[in-house]
Amino acid sequence: MKTELKTSTVESLLGVLSLRPMSGYEMRQFMEYSTGNFWRESFGQIYPALKRMVTAGLVTVEEQKGDGHPAKKVYRMTEAGAEHLRGWLGIAAKPQVPRNELLLKVFFGDRAEAGAIAMQVREWKAKEEVNLQRYERTLSEIETKFAAHPGMPFWRMTARYGIAQAKALIGWCEATLEEMQGVGSREQGVESGGCGDEC
Amino acid sequence: MKTELKTSTVESLLGVLSLRPMSGYEMRQFMEYSTGNFWRESFGQIYPALKRMVTAGLVTVEEQKGDGHPAKKVYRMTEAGAEHLRGWLGIAAKPQVPRNELLLKVFFGDRAEAGAIAMQVREWKAKEEVNLQRYERTLSEIETKFAAHPGMPFWRMTARYGIAQAKALIGWCEATLEEMQGVGSREQGVESGGCGDEC
DNA sequence: ACAGCCATGTAAACCGTTACATGATTCG
DNA sequence: CGAATCATGTAACGGTTTACATGGCTGT
């Protein structure tokens, strides 16, 4: 029934518009502080997408000018848009190609200068600890400020996801750092990159 | 000192070549079963990158033909290549833009058909459980088959990362599913996508 | 014979960010 | 008056996947 979906820019914008009518500029701002930890769109994606969405009848536009601000185009989701969003919410998310540069560096850790990888793991741990605190603040903010909103339980779930993930990563960093104490990548000996006959 | 790095295709190939000389085809195969869970490259990236790497003096090529197989180009890392790899391993990994489509759907969960999101969380949990088992098999395989390899401790760390992550996600899925029992997205009432004045 | 793997490469399409261009308003 | 923010849009660039083109060898 649906033609193959390749990306979710349109759907993420519909999701935001399902909360209230907004301009493209506001949509980006909204995403930045709400879904910013797991989804964001840039203007280069948003404006062309909105144009297509109008053509497809998923949204309507209304220009607001002359009320003090610069001209603003307010988009409003149509019933067709709501249906499109519902349909998208019902189908499984496409699995994403995994790419984790830090893990790649860890994997080749014995090729690195001694201590180089451990330092990065420490830095990453510090960053995740900051993230964890932020997620926890976000969680309590969601619970207090949007207690009455029907979306609140779902927003809370996404915040808890961040918390669970951050905690797991911090734990992994600690275990990894402990193990790296006894390993010592390429202190001596392994000097040539020319590759002997290991493997 | 280093000119700005934009991507890590070249470095990932150097990492693989630091283990032993290989053809482009073999590099992809190797990545698929070793770093496949957090890093992979496609032929469309690999072959052009190898060409550039030869020009830059990071690797040398040697054509092997007439030994039964189709012609094969075996690449070997140079000392300059090893140095480049070491340099890259020493600098911090660029933070990646987060994109998690499932979380985006959870966030807009109250706009979905009742049960639609819960079903996806269940499916995701099942998938992560399969992953977890796979990571655990990988871990014991690494420990037994490569016990003597200097890279082993690092490979083991990446496997443990997968295990830690999978466990955290399974836990989150369970908590989320339990909570969704009491929520019930848009059973009745919220019919219009036209957006009232919530928010 | 045909499928499937080995092996290399190119071209097109797509996705996405960043920079640029423009201009109004607001606040210090 | 200048900087920051509001606001919309386009162009260029770069990264990545997918499909295509080619062909030999291996096993059933």
CB count within 10 Å of CB B126 equals: 12
pLDDT in tens, B142-157: 999 999 999 999 999 9
pLDDT of residue B165: 97
HEC profile of chain A: CCCCCCCCHHHHHHHHHCCCCECHHHHHHHHHHCCCCCCCCCHHHHHHHHHHHHHCCCEEEEEECCCCCCCEEEEEECHHHHHHHHHHHHCCCCCCCCCCHHHHHHHCHHHCCCCHHHHHHHHHHHHHHHHHHHHHHHHHHHHHHCCCCCCHHHHHHHHHHHHHHHHHHHHHHHHHHHHHHCCCCCCCCCCCCCCCCCC
Contact B112 A89 (CB under 8 A): yes
Contact A151 B105 (CB under 8 A): no
pLDDT in tens, A35-87: 999 999 999 999 999 999 999 999 999 998 766 667 899 999 999 999 999 99
- Strand C closer than 7 A to residue A41 Cβ: yes
Residue A30 C-alpha from the chain's centroid: 14
Question: What does the alpha-carbon distance between residue B15 and residue A191 come to, in Å, rounded to a whole number?
Answer: 15
Residue B137 vs residues A111, B73, B131, B143, B149: alpha-carbon distances, Å: 25, 33, 10, 10, 18
Tell me the pLDDT of chain A averaged across its residues.
90
Name which of A49, A119, A18, A151 is nearest B109 in CA terms. Answer: A151
Nearest nucleotide to the CA of A67, by C1', is: C25
pLDDT band at B186 (very low <50, low <70, confident <90, very high): low
Residue of A nearest to B18 (CA): A195
Question: What does the alpha-carbon distance between residue A83 and residue B171 come to, in Å, rounded to a whole number?
Answer: 32
Mean pLDDT, to the nearest integer, of B71-84?
96
Among A40-49, A160-169, A175-184, B67-76, where is mean pLDDT lowest?
A: B67-76
B160 touches chain A (CB under 8 A): yes
Mean pLDDT, to the nearest integer, of A143-165?
97
Joined tokens for residue A35: 């879904």
- Strand C closer than 7 A to residue A42 Cβ: yes
Higher model confidence: residue A148 or residue B68?
A: A148
Higher model confidence: residue A64 or residue B123?
A: B123
To test the contact with chain A by mutation, choose from B27, B103, B134, B142 the residue with the greatest count of A C-beta atoms within 10 A, namely B103
Contact B164 A169 (CB under 8 A): yes
Among A166-175, B11-20, B63-72, where is mean pLDDT lowest?
A: B63-72
The predicted model scores a pTM of: 0.90
pLDDT of residue A1: 38
pLDDT of residue A67: 61
- Examine the pLDDT at B189 and tell me if it is beyond 50: no
Task: Please provide residue B88's backbone torsions phi and psi, each rounded to the nearest 5 degrees.
Answer: -65, -40
